[in-house]
């Protein structure tokens, strides 16, 4: 291996001389996205730094800074520490580990590359999933001194799960084991046994040294026993996923409707798979309506053909309804639409999954509300054993059923990432909490349909001469919710209104008698009550509910079930010390003594409404006055308070 200091380092002159020519040169090359992954300190960042260095993608000022940083914070003595090219965060340099996902671009004469350097530490597994989600290939690094480790297995399993079909097993740091073939062969055999157990049918092993450069751009004299390709040779020749995607049926999620003037209407998006041409018959999903492609438009003009990976605007011959979130597909082989699925979830949030809670589900350009049922099992990545569980914690991988509030267009993840892969987003914090892969729709999703009735919702309300609504009373135990709700119903009844009260204690005697007071059970309690309240509004009733309902997410879930203006949140605002002083049922006393677990306000949180329609301050307003004010507001006799 040539000493680093003897290398005359010079980037491509064409970049400085003619940037347009340089970009033109690279425009028609294929692009390979790949990740490096494995356990902590297996040399991922060093390998990427070496690839950037050897491909002449470092400018003179960057090289000077690298040499300076290597002397100050490097781990390779007087030599260049290539990892510093990628580990940009201060915490990464201090600890010598990768924390965030770092994306780098480089190119060779044959191909362009985007490489994601993903963290090896278990704590940052969610970042590895992020990097792998768009990759065509994974380079699994193994320290030749340590062999196959837990994170090697975890990252291999995740890469396979996410759909990466090209795996390179890079046995790194061969220079530290004197390029011993027996060590290399033992590691490859060990990994092969594990790979077969998780369904990885083939992988390409190679002995390398990211630091010394062995078998990176060319074959090394230090490993004469290795006759396979160098890493760059393999990366330049492996088939990219876009090539195989073009052979699949046409799919394009609509990102937006392009309507610059009255004479043009097109549907813009990135083609996920297949090929489309003017004259093709396409189907709009989920509506199922068909039309013919009249034009395929781009900024550079119309195309005779567009393929997977291209962003285009498609014009249709007919004026049919199509909007963001819909999918254009080949008419004779469309994807499915359903609202209940079996999925695999990779949990990415510090807070555990709460079964029954509503999350935003984003799949392609579709965003819907979704609830996750209690997981069927979680996967032990070391043994591949399926373990019983009630929730999913950070970095857990599990299988669970998901229900969405409306049908979405999908494909099994094994058939297509775009319509098979999704993320879950917390509705309150907007944080991404999970990445998921759809397996199949549940049979009940196809067999259970809405039954049309001749007497409509509006007819029920007209017969009762009232506007249906839900008055949702929320507050701490002992705040006075049931008392005020009872007074409101009496006043409405006296006015001839048709009402019904759903009280927290009463429904637990029947409908929800099987539920306890854990967070998951509280969520399910409110979900059921919300569904019942919705059915009652369908019957034209004014529904009053008196529940602690401690979580904002579930109160918002019920709001989303109803039409605009039908959900009125009434916050019965009573300080904890006052509610506890009342303690009509003796519950606070039991909670304080430890006899009653998961009691709201003591050892379980209450998330107060941030902008309720009505707020009742029980320290300043009597129940009778509050009830009068609520009735006036409901019937439109008073301004919003």
pLDDT digits (tens, 9 = 90+) for 531-544: 999 999 999 999 99
**Strand order across the 30-38 sheet:** 102-107, 111-117, 30-38, 137-143, 166-172, 204-207
The tokens for 276 are: 């489309």
Binned at pLDDT 50, 70 and 90, residue 488 comes out as very high
Report percent pLDDT > 70 for the chain.
84
Higher-pLDDT residue of 590 and 469 is 469
Instruction: Indicate the pTM of the whole model.
Output: 0.73
Cα torsion for 54, 227, 146, 384, to the nearest 10°? Answer: 110
- CB atoms under 10 Å from CB of 624, counted, come to 12
Q: Which of 126, 130, 134, 222 is nearest to 174 (CA)?
A: 222
Q: Which residues contact 533 (CB under 8 A, 6 or more apart)?
A: 470, 502, 543, 545, 558, 561, 562
Q: Which residues contact 449 (CB under 8 A, 6 or more apart)?
A: none
> CA-to-CA distance for 147 and 184, rounded, in angstroms?
9
> CA-to-CA distance for 484 and 626, rounded, in angstroms?
7
| Antiparallel, parallel or unpaired: β 275-276 and 386-387 | unpaired
- Mean pLDDT, the chain, rounded, equals 84
pLDDT of residue 252: 95
pLDDT of residue 641: 38
Binned at pLDDT 50, 70 and 90, residue 70 comes out as low
- Write out the catalytic residue numbers: 549
The SS3 call for residue 537 is helix
> CA-to-CA distance for 525 and 516, rounded, in angstroms?
9
- CB atoms under 10 Å from CB of 374, counted, come to 16
Q: Which of 97-101, 266-270, 333-337, 548-552 has the highest mean pLDDT?
A: 266-270
The tokens for 619 are: 């320290």
Q: Is the previous residue joined to 573 through a cis bond, with omega within 30 degrees of 0? A: no
User: Are the C-beta atoms of residues 516 and 472 closer than 8 Å to each other?
Assistant: no
Q: Is the pLDDT of residue 153 over 60?
A: yes
Report percent pLDDT > 90 for the chain.
46
Q: Is the pLDDT of residue 449 over 60?
A: no
Q: Which residues contact 32 (CB under 8 A, 6 or more apart)?
A: 111, 112, 113, 114, 136, 137, 235, 238, 240
Q: Where are the alpha helices (DSSP H) in 28-124?
A: 44-54, 60-73, 90-95
Higher-pLDDT residue of 482 and 104 is 482
CA distances from 135 to 163, 247, 260, 476 (A): 9, 19, 35, 49
Could you read off the pLDDT of 573-620 as tens digits, one per residue?
A: 999 888 888 877 788 888 888 888 878 888 888 899 999 999 999 999
């Amino acid at each position: 291996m040539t000493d680093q200091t003897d290398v005359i380092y010079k980037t491509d002159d064409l970049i400085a001389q003619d940037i347009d020519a340089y970009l033109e040169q690279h425009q028609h090359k294929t692009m390979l996205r790949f990740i490096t992954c494995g356990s902590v300190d297996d040399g991922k960042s060093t390998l990427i730094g070496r690839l950037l260095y050897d491909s002449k993608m470092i400018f003179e000022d960057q090289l000077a800074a690298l040499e300076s940083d290597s002397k100050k914070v490097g781990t390779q003595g007087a030599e260049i520490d290539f990892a510093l090219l990628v580990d940009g965060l201060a915490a990464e340099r201090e600890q010598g580990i990768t924390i965030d996902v770092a994306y780098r671009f480089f190119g060779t004469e044959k191909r362009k590359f985007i490489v994601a350097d993903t963290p090896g530490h278990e704590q940052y597994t969610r970042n590895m999933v992020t990097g792998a989600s768009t990759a065509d290939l994974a380079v699994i690094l193994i320290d030749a001194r340590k062999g196959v480790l837990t994170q090697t297995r975890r990252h291999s399993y995740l890469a396979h799960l996410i759909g990466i079909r090209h795996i390179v097993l890079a046995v790194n740091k061969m220079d530290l084991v004197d390029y011993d073939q027996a060590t290399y062969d033992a590691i490859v055999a060990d990994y092969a046994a594990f790979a077969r157990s998780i369904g990885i049918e083939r992988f390409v092993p190679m002995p390398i040294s990211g630091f010394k450069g062995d078998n990176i751009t060319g074959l090394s004299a230090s490993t004469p026993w290795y006759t396979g390709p160098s890493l760059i040779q393999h990366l330049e020749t492996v088939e990219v996923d876009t090539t195989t995607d073009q052979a699949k049926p046409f799919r394009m999620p609509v990102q937006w409707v392009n309507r610059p003037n009255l004479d043009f209407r097109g549907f813009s998006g990135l083609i996920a798979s297949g090929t489309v041409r003017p004259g093709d018959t396409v189907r709009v999903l989920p509506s199922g309506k068909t039309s013919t492609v009249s034009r395929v438009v781009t900024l550079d003009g119309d195309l005779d053909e567009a393929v997977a990976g291209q962003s285009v605007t498609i014009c249709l011959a007919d004026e049919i309804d199509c909007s963001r979130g819909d999918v254009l597909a080949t008419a004779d082989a469309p994807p499915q639409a359903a609202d209940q699925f079996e999925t695999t979830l990779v949990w990415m949030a510090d807070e555990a999954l709460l079964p029954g809670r509503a999350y935003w589900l984003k799949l392609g350009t579709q965003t819907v509300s979704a609830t996750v049922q209690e997981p069927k099992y979680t996967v032990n990545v070391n043994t591949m054993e399926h373990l019983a569980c009630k929730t999913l914690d950070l970095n857990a991988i599990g299988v669970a059923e998901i229900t969405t509030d409306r049908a979405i267009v999908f494909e099994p993840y094994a058939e297509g990432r775009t319509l098979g892969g999704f993320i879950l987003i917390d509705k309150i914090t907007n944080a991404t909490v999970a990445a998921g892969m759809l397996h199949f729709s549940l049979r009940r999703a196809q067999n259970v349909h809405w039954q049309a009735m001749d007497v409509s919702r509006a007819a029920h309300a007209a017969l009762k001469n009232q506007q249906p609504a839900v008055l949702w009373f929320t507050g701490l135990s002992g705040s006075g919710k049931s008392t005020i709700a009872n007074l409101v119903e009496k006043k409405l009844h006296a006015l001839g209104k048709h009402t019904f009260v759903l009280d927290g204690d009463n429904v637990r005697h029947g409908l929800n008698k099987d539920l306890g007071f854990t967070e998951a059970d509280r969520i399910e309690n409110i979900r059921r009550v919300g569904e019942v309240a919705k059915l009652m509004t369908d019957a034209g009733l004014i529904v009053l509910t008196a529940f602690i309902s401690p979580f904002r997410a579930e109160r918002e879930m019920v709001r989303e079930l109803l039409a605009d203006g039908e959900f009125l949140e009434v916050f019965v605002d009573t300080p904890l010390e006052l509610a506890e002083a009342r303690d009509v049922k003796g519950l606070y006393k039991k909670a304080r003594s430890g006899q009653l677990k998961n009691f709201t306000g003591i050892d379980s949180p209450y998330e107060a409404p941030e902008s309720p329609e009505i707020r009742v301050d029980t320290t300043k307003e009597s129940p009778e006055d509050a009830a009068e004010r609520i009735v006036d507001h409901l019937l439109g006799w008073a301004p919003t308070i």
